[in-house]
A and B are shown apart, each in its own frame.
Chain A
Amino acid sequence: MAAKSLDPPQRSDRLRTWLLLGPGLIYLLIFFALPLVVIVLYSFLTPGPRGNVEWVFTFNNYITLFTGDLYLSAYWRSIWSSLLTTFVCLLIGYPLALFIVRSPPRWRVVLLFLILIPFWTNFLVRTYAWMIILANNGLLNGLIQALGMPRQTLLNTEGATLVGLIYGELPFMILPLYAALDRFDFNLMEAAADLGANRWQAFLRVMLPQTMPGVVAGSVLVFIPTVGQFVVSDLLGGAKVDYLGNILQRLFQRSNPPNWPLGSAMAIVFMFVLTVAIIIYFRGTTEEDR
């Protein structure tokens, strides 16, 4: 007869696992999975005359989405402006993160701190601040006029929306890039130079691939919230054109009557497109690293 096992009984192991997982699992079920099921369900139902839902199965919501010009153009506008925001954040954020990583340690803390300071103020308040800066008789126009140039229309343009988005999202790009660059072994750049790579080649062939996880993380962190935004385009863009978020907000709340089934369908398509896009992005950028 073999000696008695010293391992604790398997059952208590399993119990512990469930106890540890439990709270998170219950939370996700109630606040994530359940609403998602509701949304999926609603997207196949018929909108009622008073903003209610009639239990009649239909594909009409999806058909409306893909035939109505309004919705498709909002999709494109949102995705395009998010791509642009992400790209500009990357262009500004990468050199900035690199600069911070290469600073003396004492300065690094200070610089990171400066990046984080805006988070201490509410995002809406900061966006209002941009309204003051960009207004027709705002700070920037004051400066432009002081330089003897004519006043410009800055606020309520798509450019203003973009500026506001980039401003708000930049820290989310810088932080993961900083983390990735901080792990990067800069001796590798010397090795690349030693082997005949000029700075640009060394960057493309060595530093960029090595810091790709940071680029991916930063891009996803910037892209996702930007696609769904509606506050910045309302406040700085003057609500002239519709982004995805604006339409969703309207369908669920403002329109008379509200149209939850159409809004749900829009959200589902949106989620689906985003998920597929991000999977492709992850595949494309991290394949080599594995």
Chain B
Amino acid sequence: MSDSIAIDLRNVTKRFGDVTAVDNISLQIRDGEFFSMLGPSGCGKTSTLRMIAGFEYPSLGQIYIHGREMGHIPPYQRPVNTVFQSYALFPHMTVEQNVAFGLQMKGVDKASIPGRVKEALEMVRLGSFGARRPRQMSGGQQQRVALARALVNHPEVLLLDEPLGALDQKLRKEMQLELKGLQERLGITFIFVTHDQEEALTMSDRIAVMSQGNILQVGSPTEIYERPICRFVADFIGETNFIDGTVREANGTHATLATEEGLHVQGYTPRPVQPGQSATISIRPEKARLLPVNGNSTPAANTMPVRVERVSYIGSDTRILVRAHGGRSLSVWEQNTLSTLDREAYWEAGDEAVLACPVDNALVLTE
């Protein structure tokens, strides 16, 4: 089951006039997977989703759904359903009629429709809302109606186009959990389009990070966060410190970078680099540590003398902005593991310190 391929994109390109929205992407999405397409607006994620749904046809390349080439098969003949960003509920129909619509169009046995509608509405905890009109419901409820309306058809793949975008933060978190739970229970492949990296990390089995019509990296949330393969991915997912420089030495898995200020920083190389090449070191703020000037540094760690500029306490973490010799600003996040209000011994602006980061947590990236 989990080995079979639900969606297979082969060299898919989509052009709108002179604009290339999707540029020769290939991607395989497994059966039963919660797969996210993540990227800034205009990266091609929605165009890709719309091509899978059949609202657009590829300019080049093929799309297979469970091994069947989709070609110019119209949306109403594809085994997928979509949850739209705007929900797109039919305002002149009741909630029940909305949910029944797909079954009626497919010519499902009339007697079985009310039961299936009821089941779908109960699944999204709207069992008693069947007689209402969409406009009498809150955004979150409408969202769930849209979900029921799609899932009642038992699609092979459910496509979700930024479905949580219009909800407020709290509701959004609830819906994330609810969606993830539903997906696990039903075992349907979900393809989830979002520009919210946190949302993608929380829910997905795998994520494709997209930019300018290209897929930059496909991987699990951990892989994407811990081992981004290029500067864009490291920058887009979470926060990070970048230090630019030139590769001095490289040995296949690790490389040493020389910065303008003459610092040497060592890091892991997800993609091989050549000496002389310009590259960037990425250090996540929570992977760096601040040590006293004369303290013992961990072996195999990069160190760099810095001065503390600003200390911001934000509850779970303390975020410290430091300045390296040469003027470069870096941030370090330290978790507030000690439950103490006595912060006198803590870092203060003006303190001299040493920033340390294990070599394997510093990544040498190229564009």
Contacts and interface: CB of A to CB of B under 8 A. Distances in A.
A54 to B, nearest CB: 56
Contact of B53 (A194, A201, A289): A194
Nearest to A289: B92
A187 B86 contact: yes
A193 B90 contact: no
A191 B90 contact: yes
B187 interface: no
Nearest to B82: A194
A201 B105 contact: yes
Interface stretch (B64-72, B73-81, B225-233, B282-290): B73-81
Nearest to B99: A195
B14 interface: no
Interface residues of A, number: 19
B81 A206 contact: no
B101 A205 contact: yes
B88 A193 contact: no
Contacts of A193: 54-55, 74-76
B102 interface: yes
Contacts of B90: 188, 191-192, 206, 210
A189 B119 CA distance: 25
A196 B106 contact: yes
A193 B90 CA distance: 12
Majority secondary structure of chain A interface residues (helix, strand, loop or mixed): helix
A81 to B, nearest CB: 32
Interface string B91-126: 110000000011001100000000000000000000
Interface residues of B, number: 24
B347 interface: no
Contacts of A188: 88, 90
Contacts of B150: 194-195
A190 B146 CA distance: 13
A59 B102 CA distance: 59
Contact of A195 (B55, B91, B92, B105): B105
Nearest to B155: A194
A190 B88 contact: yes
A68 to B, nearest CB: 46
B91 A196 contact: no
B361 interface: no
Given A187-B84, A197-B76, A198-B76, A192 B101 contact: yes
Nearest to B102: A195
A195 B153 contact: yes
A214 to B, nearest CB: 13
Interface in B35-59: 53-55
Contacts of B77: 196
Interface string B137-165: 00000000000011001000000000000
A207 to B, nearest CB: 10
B62 to A, nearest CB: 21
Nearest to A194: B82
A13 interface: no
Given A198-B74, A201-B105, A205-B101, A288 B92 contact: yes
Contacts of A192: 90, 101, 105
Contacts of A69: none
A138 interface: no
A194 B74 contact: no
Given A194-B82, A195-B149, A185 B92 contact: no
A210 B92 contact: yes
Contact of B76 (A194, A209, A289): A194
Most buried by B among A185, A192, A195, A198: A195
Contacts of B80: 194
Contacts of B106: 196
A196 B102 contact: yes
B80 to A, nearest CB: 8
29 contacts: A185-B86, A185-B88, A187-B84, A187-B86, A188-B88, A190-B75, A190-B82, A190-B88, A191-B84, A191-B90, A192-B101, A192-B105, A194-B55, A194-B75, A194-B76, A194-B82, A195-B76, A195-B101, A195-B105, A195-B149, A195-B150, A195-B153, A196-B76, A196-B77, A197-B101, A197-B105, A209-B92, A210-B92, A288-B92
Interface of A: 185, 187-188, 190-198, 201, 205-206, 209-210, 288-289
Ordered nearest first, which 9 A-B pairs have the shortest CB separation? Answer: A196-B105, A195-B102, A191-B88, A193-B75, A187-B88, A194-B82, A197-B105, A209-B92, A196-B76
Given A194-B76, A196-B76, 18 more contacts: A185-B88, A187-B88, A188-B90, A190-B55, A190-B75, A190-B82, A190-B84, A191-B88, A192-B90, A192-B101, A193-B74, A194-B53, A195-B76, A195-B81, A195-B101, A195-B105, A198-B74, A201-B105
